[in-house]
Chain A
């Protein structure tokens, strides 16, 4: 894979839900190590773009490529292993934070990465959370704590591509800054942020504006 290879690409993607157009001919591409922010008004299809890139939404037309490989029913299972995704208002499920962070390592795809869990306290501290949080019930966390735990969970998987959907919406300015600073420094990872406050990610190489399908 060269630096000039597109690691994330959408070509003329159109998505319709129940007959209603959500995305019309959307295209984008992002090369390795680059950062992009996807902005636009609520309901314009920002989250749908991420869901398309993960194969959660099947486009009516167009192609999605990850690492230059078209996303298909056959390739999706392998390609998802290269991507980390943090959704809006993450649902961490039951159990204490330690169990939440351990969960993805039960999957065969991540079994060999289990030793990464040792880095959990370090990542928590990076985003202003105390390591003692590991023993706290996930259901008792605040919205901002949940967002940061979900982010830590994604980072522990050691992926090279990040799809991050409004991951700082419930954070205070200092924590937002910590998240932005972390990704600014990670030169080797490719990130697509969905954000209302694009200025937070001023270091991004691209700003993609969505206006909706109309």
Chain B
């Protein structure tokens, strides 16, 4: 197998030429997202350039604590992104969500690197950062859907929720139908992806491994392992997310504390 072909600066600039088509279509139909698209493109370019340079340094140094610190930064950014995507107050759920994300990312990551790849350095930058990033990215997507569906579900369906408490349910029994619904919504994309993977599209990790010069057989083994890790991490994050956030989101008598919502008046 050949090693990956580098892309020169001019060649990369040529990739931007492709944007002529989508931007022309946006302008032609006057789709009201031209500014947003341009800002996103600029942000993507700047962010990736900075991250690329930073990761280059991290990969060269490959110091365990620095790699761990980078993973923590990724978790913190994901945490803020989740809370901002829900209608919940940052201060109230940021810590429980970050702990859930951390566990959902680190547990499958360490098993992947240690058990599957048999690396002695569990936080080897070459493996821990890209694999951790893939698991975390999926946990992030699932958590946004899961946390939002869970809390909005209880807020919208307060009557049956209170009725279940009145009927003698403990808090974990009363929240179970809402957790079930939130998990279904959050896990559906991952489950659907697993069912069609390889048939509809070549997944990111497999593509990366092939482009890196490995054979497709090696690539599918990586892909299978990452899909299992992603699914496990997502479920761990969701379960811990519901459990940990519920510690600060429900009042002592089991009623949802509405002050966790940004649009509710503070106590």
Contacts and interface: CB of A to CB of B under 8 A. Distances in A.
Interface of A: 18, 54-58, 73, 76-77, 80-81, 83-85, 87, 89-93, 103-104, 106-110, 153, 157
B169 interface: yes
B10 interface: no
A18 B265 contact: yes
B254 A55 contact: yes
B265 A77 contact: no
B165 A73 contact: no
B163 A109 contact: no
26 contacts: A18-B265, A54-B165, A55-B254, A56-B162, A56-B253, A56-B255, A73-B252, A73-B253, A76-B252, A76-B254, A77-B170, A81-B168, A84-B166, A85-B167, A91-B159, A91-B163, A92-B160, A93-B160, A104-B169, A107-B167, A107-B168, A108-B173, A109-B168, A109-B169, A110-B167, A153-B167
Contacts, number: 69
Interface in B212-267: 251-255, 265
A92 B105 CA distance: 39
A58 B265 CA distance: 17
A54 B162 CA distance: 9
B159 A80 contact: no
Question: Interface residues of B toward A: which range?
Answer: 20 to 34
Contact of A157 (B165, B167, B173): B167
A56 B257 CA distance: 11
Contacts of A55: 253-255
B252 A107 contact: no
Nearest to B165: A80
B165 A91 contact: no
A101 B183 CA distance: 25
Interface of B: 157, 159-160, 162-170, 173, 177, 251-255, 265
Nearest to A18: B265
Nearest to B174: A107
Contact of A58 (B166, B167, B173, B253): B253
Contacts of B165: 54, 56, 80
Given A55-B254, A56-B253, A76-B254, A107 B170 contact: yes
A90 B170 contact: no
A12 B254 CA distance: 23
Contacts of B157: 91
Contacts of B162: 54, 56, 87
A107 B169 contact: yes
A103 B177 CA distance: 11
A71 to B, nearest CB: 8
6 tightest A-B contacts by CB?
A73-B252, A109-B168, A55-B253, A85-B166, A104-B167, A91-B159
Contacts of A57: 255
A90 B159 contact: yes
A7 B254 CA distance: 22
Contacts of A18: 265
A128 to B, nearest CB: 23
Contacts of B160: 91-93
Contacts of A104: 164, 167-169
A90 B254 CA distance: 20
B164 A87 contact: no
A108 B170 contact: yes
Contacts of B163: 85, 87, 90-91
Nearest to A51: B162
A157 B159 CA distance: 18
A81 B169 CA distance: 9
The interface centre, meaning the residue of A81, A83, A107, A110 with most chain B CB atoms within 10 A of its CB, is A107
Nearest to A110: B168
A107 B253 contact: no
B173 A76 contact: no
A149 B254 CA distance: 25
Contacts of A153: 167
Contacts of B177: 93
A107 B166 contact: no
A108 B170 CA distance: 8
Nearest to B255: A56
A12 to B, nearest CB: 19
A6 B169 CA distance: 25
